[in-house]
Homo-oligomer: A and B are copies of this chain.
Amino acid sequence: MAKDMTLLWGSGSPPCWRVQIALEEKSLQGYNQKLLRFDKMEHKSQEVMDMNPRGQLPAFKHGNNVLNESYAACLYLESEFKSQGNKLIPDCSAEKALMYQRMFEGLTLNQKMADVIYYNWKVPEGERHDSAVKRNRDVLSAEVKLWEGYLQKASGSFFAGKNFSLADVTVYPSIAYLFHFGLCEERYPKLAAYYNSNKDRPSIKATWPPTWLENPQGQDQLKDI
């Protein structure tokens, strides 16, 4: 029981979901947690600001150790609980290299996805341009093709080999996000297979975004990507 840990999170946010998956994988259930709502601006509440002065979710701490950056939390949890739950960093040098490489490329994928999905939210009305929207979509499309190619060439069913690793902990939420926002399963069959086959993985099933369960239909913003 991880009673000395606290996680403030928002439903569907890839950074929050990464930390939740890592906690499950390391058998760290039973932590204190609170689901907050972005649409009510609860990520700017005093409770969050006290833990994460950037006013972002996740806000996570283990005892007095604060790890609000999701990648930081994942690496820390694997390091502190190395022999507990599932091993998330491979011993083999080649797999380890691939794991780190994909894990950090995942930040680029997530950024390019956010640039498309949150364009109107991030860019003030007077600064919006159709040319930027088109470019962002083209850039995302090229990026998603890259990831489809990674799985085509993969030696196992995961991003860094035969085992679920930190590359999957960090990238799976973005892949799920793409499909939730309408990415076409037929156009990206390897990504779709990866997405669907891991839905039932215990760590992912246990942490599936509650707002997505309420509205499994999702959106279609990315259907032409």
Beyond contacts A69-B104, A126-B131: 9 other A-B pairs, Cβ-Cβ < 8 A, are A62-B97, A64-B94, A66-B97, A69-B101, A75-B75, A79-B96, A80-B96, A126-B129, A127-B127
Contact B132 A67 (CB under 8 A): no
The reply to whether A93 and B72 form a contact with Cβ atoms under 8 Å apart is no
**Are the CB atoms of B126 and A67 closer together than 8 Å?**
no
Evaluate contact between A72 and B132: CB separation under 8 angstroms: no
Residues from chain B with a CB closer than 8 A to the CB of A72 are: 97, 100-101, 103-104
Contact of A124 among B75, B98, B126, B131 (CB under 8 A): B131
A124 to B130, CA, bound (A): 12
Give the chain B neighbours of A20 by CB distance below 8 A: none
Q: Mark A50-81, 1 if CB is under 8 A from B, else 0.
A: 00010000000011111111111101100110
Complex alpha-carbon distance, A66 and B96, angstroms: 10
- With a 10 A CB-CB cut-off, give which of A63, A96, A100 has the most chain B CB atoms: A100
CB-based contact A67/B101 at 8 Å: yes
Q: Mark A22-46, 1 if CB is under 8 A from B, else 0.
A: 0000000000000000000000000
Name A's B-contacting residues (CB within 8 A): 53, 62-73, 75-76, 79-80, 89, 93-94, 96-98, 100-101, 103-105, 107, 124, 126-127, 129, 131-132, 146
Cβ-neighbour of A127 out of B79, B97, B107, B132 (below 8 A): B132
CA distance A196 to B72 in the complex (A): 27
Checking B62, B64, B100 against A67 with a beta-carbon cut-off of 8 angstroms, the contacting residue is B100
Contact pick for A76, options B62, B75, B97, CB 8 Å: B97
Whether B94 contacts A76 by the Cβ 8 Å rule is: no
Contacts of A53 in B (CB 8 A): 146
> Shortest CB–CB separation between residue A165 and chain B, in angstroms?
13
Complex Cα gap A75–B101 (Å)? 10
Would you call B76 and A100 a contact (CB within 8 A)? yes
* Chain B residues closer than 8 Å to A107, beta-carbon distance: 107
Interchain nearest-CB distance for A160 vs B (Å) = 11
Which residues of B are found within 8 Å of A124, using beta-carbon distances?
A: 131
B126 touches A69 (CB 8 A): no
A189 to chain B, nearest CB (A): 21
